[in-house]
Amino acid sequence: MEQNNLFARASVLLCSTLLFFTLNSFSQSLPEELETSVAPEKSVTQEKSRSEVTYKQLHSSSFSDENGLFADGLKLKMDLSVLEEVEEQREEFDPTEIPADDIYGGMWGNRHVNIYGGLENAPDTFMVDLENFTMPVDGYMTSNFGRRGSRRYHYGIDLKAQTGDTIYAAFDGKVRVKQYERRGYGYYLVIRHVNGLETVYAHLSKFLVDENDFVLSGQPIGLAGNTGRSYGSHLHFETRFLGKPINPNFIIDFENKVTHRDEYLVTNSSYRKTNSSSRVVVSNKSPNGGGNSVASSDAASSESTNKFVSGEVSYHRIQSGDTLGAIAKRYGTTVGELCRLNNITSRTVLRIGRTLRVS
């Protein structure tokens, strides 16, 4: 009896042991199967999410490799800043337009030097920009601005030049006159410049430009000669404003072949005549080195009567964004007064770099 009980207990223990090992083995195999079944789904999900990222950011480190807009906007900002700087510093002139048309009241003729006798509302002062000046010819002065005898007057400067020497435009501008005058200028040109001046080039032997051509400072415009009323090959050179001759010595230092300043203020005193003879010249560049210089004294005299130097007249250089209303408010005046002082209208386009008289 006891033996049967012993066998029964052993059977129960063996079954319990087998059940324990079976359950333990099942619990260990289940995570492996779950991991095996879930992993492919997770992999597919990751692959799917990665495929949606189709863009690529470009940074400044890849500037030399690829062109385009950078994520940090580096190239875009650089390009815009360069364009804005150039736009502010550069004043462009349309070659199809008439230079200084607002000052000359729309008058443009191709026949004569002075066509402005009927011009009304001419400004009594005007600031001329001289920064891009070029000597018309590399010769010394042979005859000055001044009297020739008791009846004639020499309204320009004669510069030594051989026939065939190249003559250059003094400033940017447009050819207004290309004519021949047998008893005077001979073959001559008149150029209206962007800065408001007009220059005359006379006794030429050949033209290199045509009427209404736009020329740049230093551009060849003709060849020197001995045509018209001339007694030897040379260039006759004049500077004029609104048709009136201005002594070129007021503007140009012919001895050093440069302008006296970067700007010149045209006033009523600019048109005055001198009692000096045209034979008194700046001639220390000539072969014999003789003669007396009057150019320096003329320039000094001009400065002594210059309202701009004395502070009686004020000017404003036009900048980007300026309007007549804003300028008038800044200087305590009115738009109407600005228009009167500068011979313009309220609809005149303000060009960057130009100068407006404000008082």
pLDDT for res 351: 77
Q: Are 240 and 198 in contact (CB under 8 A)?
A: yes
Residues 131 and 184 in one domain: yes
The verdict on residue 260 lying in a domain is: yes
The pLDDT value given to residue 277: 74
Determine the structural domain holding residue 341 and report its residue range: 315-357
> Do residues 227 and 299 both lie within one domain?
yes
Tell me if 119 is assigned to some domain.
no
Residues 331, 185, single domain; the answer is no
Residues 243 and 340 in one domain: no
If DSSP codes are grouped into helix, strand and coil, which group holds residue 74? helix
Q: Clarify whether residues 272 and 337 are in a common domain.
A: no
What are the structure tokens assigned to 313, written together? 């007249």
Whether 199 contacts 170, CB under 8 Å: yes
On whether both 206 and 236 belong to a single domain, the answer is yes
Burial (CB count within 10 angstroms: exposed 0-12, middle 13-18, buried 19+), residue 68 = exposed
Looking at the structure, do residues 227 and 319 belong to the same domain, yes or no?
Answer: no
Nearest-angstrom CA–CA distance, 306 and 311: 9
Same domain for 338 and 211? no
Closest CA to 276 of 146, 141, 142: 146
Residues 351 and 276 in one domain: no
Hey, what are 291's tokens?
């003669």
The burial of 61, by beta-carbon neighbours within 10 Å (0-12 exposed, 13-18 middle, 19 or more buried), is given as exposed
Task: Point out which residues pair with 186 in neighbouring strands.
Answer: 181
Residue 102 lies in a domain: no
**Distance, CA of 175 to CA of 110 (rounded, Å):** 9
28 in any annotated domain: no
Residues 6+ apart with CB under 8 A from 227: 180, 186, 187, 203, 204, 205
Total structural domains within the chain: 2
| Backbone φ and ψ of 178, nearest 5° | -140, 100
Helix (H, G, I), strand (E, B) or coil at 239: strand
pLDDT score of 135: 95
End-to-end CA distance of the chain: give it in Å, rounded: 140
Same domain, 275 and 194: yes
Supply the CATH number for residue 261's domain: 2.70.70.10
Angle at 52 between CA 48 and CA 55, to 5 degrees: 150
Cβ distance 201 to 209 under 8 Å?
no
Question: What pTM value is reported for the model?
Answer: 0.59
Q: How far apart are CA 109 and CA 178, in angstroms?
A: 11
* Within-domain flag for 1: no
Q: Are residues 284 and 322 part of one domain?
A: no
Rounded CA separation 353/319 (Å): 6
| 228, 352: one domain | no
Residue pointed to by tokens 């004043």: 91
Residue 116's SS3 state is coil
**Mean per-residue pLDDT pooled into runs of 10, the chain (359 residues):** 64 68 59 48 47 41 42 45 47 80 90 85 87 93 87 91 94 96 95 96 97 95 95 95 94 92 91 78 44 46 41 71 90 88 81 75
Task: Give 334-340 contacts, CB < 8 A, sequence gap 24+.
Answer: 340/121
Domain of 350, CATH number, reads 3.10.350.10
Closest CA to 357 of 128, 28, 94, 134: 128
> How far is the CA of 202 from the CAs of 7, 161, 183, 215, in angstroms?
145, 12, 12, 17
- Residue 275 counted as domain residue: yes
